[in-house]
Amino acid sequence: MELDRPGRVLTTLSVLPALAVTGWLLAGLPLLLLGRFAPLPATLLGVPLAALLCWAGARGLGGGPAGDASRAAVKGSPGVIGAVRRVRKSTWQVAGVAGVAVASGAFNAIMHSEQVAVRRDPATYTQYAAWIATHGGLPIPVQAEAFGGPDPSLVFKSVGFFPADGAVVPQFMPGPPMLFAIGHWLGAPYVVPAVLGALAVLTVAGVVARLAGARWAVPGAVAFAVSMPILYTSRTTFSEIPSLILLFGGLALAHDALARRERGRALLAGLVFGLAVLVRVDGLRDVLPVLAFAGLLIGMRRLRRPAGGGGLPLLAGLVAGAGVGMLAAYLLARPYLSYLSASVRPLLFVCAGVLVLTAAGTAVAPALARIRLPKWAPRTGAVLVVLLMAALYARPWVQTVTRVPANPDDRRTFEMIEQIQRANVMPVDGTRLYFENSLHWVTWYVGAPAVLLATIAAALLVRRLLRDGSSFEWLLPLAVVGWTTVTTLLRPEITPDHPWAARRLVPIVIPGMILLATYGLARLRRLTDRHGPKVLRWGMALAVLLVLAPPAVTSIGTAFTPVERGEAAAVEAMCARIPANATVLTVERVTGDRFVQVVRGMCGRPAAQVARTEGDLAPQDEVRRLVERVRAAGRVPVVLGAEDWHVSPYGAASQVMKLVTRQDERSLTEAPNGTWSLTMNVWMAVA
């Protein structure tokens, strides 16, 4: 079906973010590997490649967002008058989606966070981006000669930064920092996440329009934009929003490739999906259903089914994109992969298993095609979907997820959970992980009505797919959303304080729930349509309100309070106080964790922690010995700590940072509804 021009605009707008991100990452990664990731070469390569991919992926899009509901709307408006009405309606839909995206980006830019001191992952990404934006590559040299040479008491690693062959490398994949570096080059380092959040709104709305119907694009965009985890991850340097753009952009491109039977667009869809691995290692898990779906299409091609032609290009693009991501992980983040080996190795085995099963299924596709499902299979599949969601919701009453510390990382998580429990006046038990509440987390952030609608929609779609294969365009989105949602909710694998833990729900779970909920609204509209226009009008208004209101209400408590503001200015002022030819030693644990890479990367001074034998302070005799080594190397020894008495034994103490700001709440059993105070102090002594 050929759509009006506004419909084509919406269809095109929704794939451009993923294609632009893909082009920038593909151009930036070789430059980063060569140590040449700088504004001029990145722009000369990245902008044309992004533009080329946008042109290739968006050209000829005329089928547009033609879901069930939109087709019904077209049938109900015959003739020229109906065509005019459709154009007007489509124009308002496009304007509405664009307005939501722009408002979301502006609001989050105003409320942006400044996480610079390395306390949690966003600051690691900030430091990663700042380093490659100004130095062009990795690893990060530690300049041991500025300390008089290597020494067992010098610790160059810090939170988020691993030792690697006499240097340090940041943890995490390089995809997000290559995007955040743009902000550093433009002088607005904390605005890029908000721009990416706005692009994510466009992407999700486009998928909603394609699969649920164009009329639901605006409600879907609003429900997505006001959800607290989306606000949270659109204000600071997280990897989840870029991952979401690639995954849902891939779904949109795959839908268009199937609808138009275009192999080139299928290749692009696979490439976009695969590059999700360059953004997050977890992307390897998220795209497993795409691998199986590509195998299904290849099998359909063997059966001479029209839709099967895109299978090989989809698979080729997926392998190429994921291969680029894994190569980058090996070359730039090998210590991080080693750190995650307990989870990465099983994931690789799962990938290998899926690949073998996919190849086997493709090989015996003709035999499988002759199998006929029993008549009870569709209904049973639908019932199982409902039972699975009910079981996840009931987990808190039948299971308590715990973990006894078995390594230093587990021990730190154990201690952190105990601290949070004390702060929340709860029974202290550091083994609690609270993962059994994971589906309840989703109801906090998208609302129980949306979860209920999404469950019903998923059950109906499973029944239709098993019954006669209708709604085939839903197979890949349903597989991606279902697989990642279930695996994420079973094992979120994150410190369970909120809003921190909510980031796990961002790439797939929350937008997936909203996508299914909007399809549920479309089906509900069909039911209410049978009872007359009055019931239709008021019934659907109430249903949409029930989907939009709960996430908005949950977000109110934190939406208007930016966190960790003032850190950038405080760090700049601290750097100005450190002598230009200084070598910095941190003698206290918290200061070392937070500021070693800040001093090294943003202040431009060599920095290291002094090893601690016990407690949070380094031994004074070791500090004095290292001070003499620094002085002998012709440098000015500077000592940093969190209190004046930490540094006063080595010289006159002066306070170089005194910041009072706000931080995220740390809630364990209910949605966060406010922020906590945060104080940062840094004292310095020129030894």
* DSSP states of 331-384: HH-HHHHHHTHHHHHHHHHHHHHHHHHHHHHHHTHHHHHT----TTHHHHHHHH
Task: Write b or e for each residue in 634-664: b if 16 or more Cβ atoms lie within 10 A of its Cβ, otherwise e.
Answer: ebbbbbbbbeeebbeebeebeebbebebbbb
Q: How many domains does the chain have?
A: 2
pLDDT band at 63 (very low <50, low <70, confident <90, very high): very low
Going by C-alpha positions, the residue among 513, 645, 426 that lies closest to residue 230 is: 513
- Does some domain include residue 403? no
- Does some domain include residue 669? yes
- Judge whether residue 518 has pLDDT over 70: yes
Domain match, 266 and 165 both? no
Going by C-alpha positions, the residue among 252, 226, 229 that lies closest to residue 241 is: 229
> What is the average pLDDT across 504-531?
92
- How high does pLDDT run on average in the chain? 91
Which of 64-78, 507-521, 530-544 has the highest average model confidence (pLDDT)?
A: 507-521
Count other Cβ atoms within 10 Å, centred on residue 59.
Answer: 11
In this structure, are residues 217 and 97 in contact, taking their beta carbons and an 8 Å threshold? yes
Ranges 100-114, 144-158, 359-373: which has the least confidence? 359-373
- Does some domain include residue 639? yes
Q: Which amino acid, 591?
A: T
- Judge whether residue 678 has pLDDT over 50: yes
Please identify, among 371, 406, 428, the residue that sits at the C-terminal boundary of a domain. 371
pLDDT band at 514 (very low <50, low <70, confident <90, very high): very high
Dihedral of alpha carbons 222, 460, 245, 4, sign: negative
Measured CA to CA in angstroms, residue 612 lies from 412, 598, 623 at distances of 17, 20, 10
- Does some domain include residue 593? yes
Residue 262: per-residue pLDDT: 87
pLDDT band at 362 (very low <50, low <70, confident <90, very high): confident
Range of the domain at 152: 139-170+563-686
> What is the average pLDDT across 58-74?
51
Please identify, among 349, 371, 393, the residue that sits at the C-terminal boundary of a domain. 371
Residue 299: per-residue pLDDT: 86
- Does some domain include residue 617? yes
Ranges 64-78, 148-162, 197-211: which has the least confidence? 64-78
Helices (H), 507-654: 509-529, 533-559, 567-577, 589-598, 620-632, 644-647
- Does some domain include residue 672? yes
Ranges 353-362, 538-547, 554-563, 656-665: which has the least confidence? 353-362
* Stated pTM of the model: 0.94
> What is the average pLDDT across 447-465?
96
- Does some domain include residue 61? no
pLDDT band at 535 (very low <50, low <70, confident <90, very high): low
Residue 65: per-residue pLDDT: 46
- Judge whether residue 684 has pLDDT over 90: yes
- Judge whether residue 480 has pLDDT over 70: yes
Residues 593-644 pLDDT 10s: 999 999 999 999 999 999 998 889 999 999 999 999 999 999 999 999 999 9
Going by C-alpha positions, the residue among 323, 268, 336, 280 that lies closest to residue 507 is: 280
- Does some domain include residue 668? yes
> What is the average pLDDT across 378-395?
96
> What is the average pLDDT across 119-133?
97
Rounded CA-CA distance 261/266 in Å is: 8
Higher-scoring residue by pLDDT: 5, 501:
501
Ranges 44-53, 304-313, 447-456: which has the least confidence? 304-313
Please identify, among 317, 342, 371, the residue that sits at the C-terminal boundary of a domain. 371
Residues above pLDDT 90, as percent of the chain: 78
Domain match, 567 and 667 both? yes
Phi, psi of 492 (to 5 degrees): -65, -30
Residue 75: per-residue pLDDT: 40
Residue 356: per-residue pLDDT: 87
